[in-house]
């Protein structure tokens, strides 16, 4: 395991803050303590991350993360990945919970961002407006967008190909022999929801299947929306052969409705969700899903921000990651490969 700043602090018998100040050549550190830190670094063969060392110009050694909440498994997993990546680079993370520009501006961490008390920020919250992003650019405040895209703003970002995920999810259902596939979307205020819906539709087109608008229901990433949509199809007598749910919570609602009406999964109804919720693999039957690359999203977001701070990124750069289809018990056995060579089933 690689040596980090916490190991150096423990060996030197000093605080992590003191070690950070030594790395940043701060004049506030007494020479005796500086020598203890340097000795500990030599004994442990500690080599600070090059990008982080380039920040040693009187900066704070802290970066911020804006996120809407932590009760969503996807968001909490990205938070964990970001925190780990920041810690491994000998820096500190400040979080702000904000679902709007107003919330961000009034939150204490939000003021820290605007008052330059952190070196830069990662923005995971999809509700932050283009106006706020433009304000950051106007003030030349370093930032990176995570899993979101503002079409009117050129900004460094790390995104997930949700169109690909929606396409792959639908293709995996088709490969199991079904034709009447329904979709329950997430809230359309999220670009990821729109992209997953478009991926679903494109897969149907590529396989020569009909897009039935009555089998597309609006959801909001909740168990309740999945239950309501499935109950609606049951009551109308339009039960699909399969459902692609925009997230696993929605899929849980579908499973509940199907169970209530004794609809067997996957023999009578195939089902796939999105996000790989931890509960999904524990259910009976276990939920097929699309796994998000949360670890890579967090790590590459931190790396990109450090490169922005170090002056290595002079223009907007977008890194796009691919999600992965995880087939479990709620989908039927795959009996043929994807017909589109650009979108092979994982």
pLDDT at 276 over 60: yes
Do residues 346 and 169 touch, judged by C-beta distance below 8 A?
no
DSSP single-letter state for residue 294: H
DSSP single-letter state for residue 123: E
pLDDT at 62 over 60: yes
The CATH architecture that domain 5-48 belongs to is: Orthogonal Bundle (1.10)
| Closest CA relative to residue 51, chosen from 338, 309, 247 | 309
Do residues 240 and 182 touch, judged by C-beta distance below 8 A?
yes
Average pLDDT on 37-47 reads: 89
The CATH architecture that domain 162-288 belongs to is: 3-Layer(aba) Sandwich (3.40)
Q: Is 187 left (phi over 0), alpha (psi -120 to 50) or beta?
A: beta
Q: Which pLDDT score is estimated for 272?
A: 98
Higher pLDDT pick, 5 / 126: 5
Average pLDDT on 159-184 reads: 96
Highest mean pLDDT among 93-97, 106-110, 247-251, 313-317: 247-251
Q: Which pLDDT score is estimated for 1?
A: 56
Task: Name the CATH topology of 62-155+294-314.
Answer: Rossmann fold (3.40.50)
Q: What is the pTM of this model?
A: 0.77
| Closest CA relative to residue 205, chosen from 170, 233, 175, 169 | 170
pLDDT at 117 over 60: yes
Express the helix, strand and coil content of the chain in percent, nearest 5 each: 45, 15, 40
**Does 266 sit behind a cis peptide bond, omega within 30 degrees of 0 on the bond before it?**
yes
Euclidean distance between CA atoms 44 and 54, whole angstroms: 21
- Per-chain mean pLDDT for the chain: 85
Q: What is the pLDDT of residues 105-114, one digit of tens each?
A: 555 544 555 5
Q: Which pLDDT score is estimated for 155?
A: 87
Confidence class of residue 339 from pLDDT cuts 50, 70 and 90? very low
> Do the domains spanning 5-48 and 62-155+294-314 agree at the CATH topology level?
no
Q: Which pLDDT score is estimated for 343?
A: 40
Q: Give the domain ranges of the chain.
A: 5-48, 62-155+294-314, 162-288
Euclidean distance between CA atoms 60 and 24, whole angstroms: 9
DSSP single-letter state for residue 13: T
DSSP single-letter state for residue 177: T
Q: What is the pLDDT of residues 201-260, one digit of tens each?
A: 999 999 999 999 999 999 999 999 999 999 999 999 999 999 999 999 999 999 999 999
Higher pLDDT pick, 260 / 118: 260
Q: Which pLDDT score is estimated for 319?
A: 93
């Amino acid at each position: 395991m690689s040596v980090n700043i916490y190991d150096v602090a423990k060996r030197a018998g000093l605080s992590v803050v003191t070690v950070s100040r030594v790395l940043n050549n701060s004049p506030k550190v007494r020479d005796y303590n500086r020598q203890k830190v340097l000795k500990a670094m030599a004994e442990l063969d500690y080599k600070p991350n090059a990008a982080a060392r380039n920040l040693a110009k009187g900066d704070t050694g802290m970066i911020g993360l804006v996120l809407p909440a932590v009760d969503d498994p996807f968001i909490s997993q990205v938070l964990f990945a970001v925190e780990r990546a920041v810690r491994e680079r000998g820096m500190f993370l400040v979080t702000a919970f904000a679902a709007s520009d107003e919330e961000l501006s009034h939150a204490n961490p939000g003021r820290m961002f605007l008052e330059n008390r952190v070196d830069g920020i990662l923005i995971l919250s999809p509700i932050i407006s283009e106006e706020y992003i433009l304000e950051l650019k106007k003030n030349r405040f370093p930032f990176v967008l995570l899993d979101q895209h503002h079409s009117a703003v050129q900004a460094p970002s790390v995104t997930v190909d949700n169109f690909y995920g929606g396409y792959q999810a639908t293709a995996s259902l088709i490969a199991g022999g079904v034709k009447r596939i329904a979709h329950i979307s997430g809230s359309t205020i999220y670009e990821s929801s729109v992209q997953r819906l478009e991926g679903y539709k494109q897969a149907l087109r590529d396989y020569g299947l009909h897009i039935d608008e009555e089998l597309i229901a609006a959801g909001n990433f909740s168990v309740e929306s999945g239950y309501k949509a499935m109950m609606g199809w049951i009551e109308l007598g339009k039960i699909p052969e399969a459902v692609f749910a925009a997230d696993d919570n929605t899929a849980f609602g579908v499973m509940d409705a199907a169970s209530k009406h004794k609809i067997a999964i996957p023999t009578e109804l195939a089902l796939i969700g999105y996000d790989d919720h931890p509960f999904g693999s524990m259910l009976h039957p276990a939920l097929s899903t699309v796994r998000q690359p949360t670890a890579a999203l967090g790590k590459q977001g931190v790396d990109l921000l450090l490169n922005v701070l170090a002056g290595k990124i002079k223009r907007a750069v977008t890194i796009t990651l691919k999600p992965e289809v995880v087939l479990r018990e709620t989908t039927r056995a795959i009996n043929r490969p994807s017909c589109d060579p650009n979108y092979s089933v994982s």
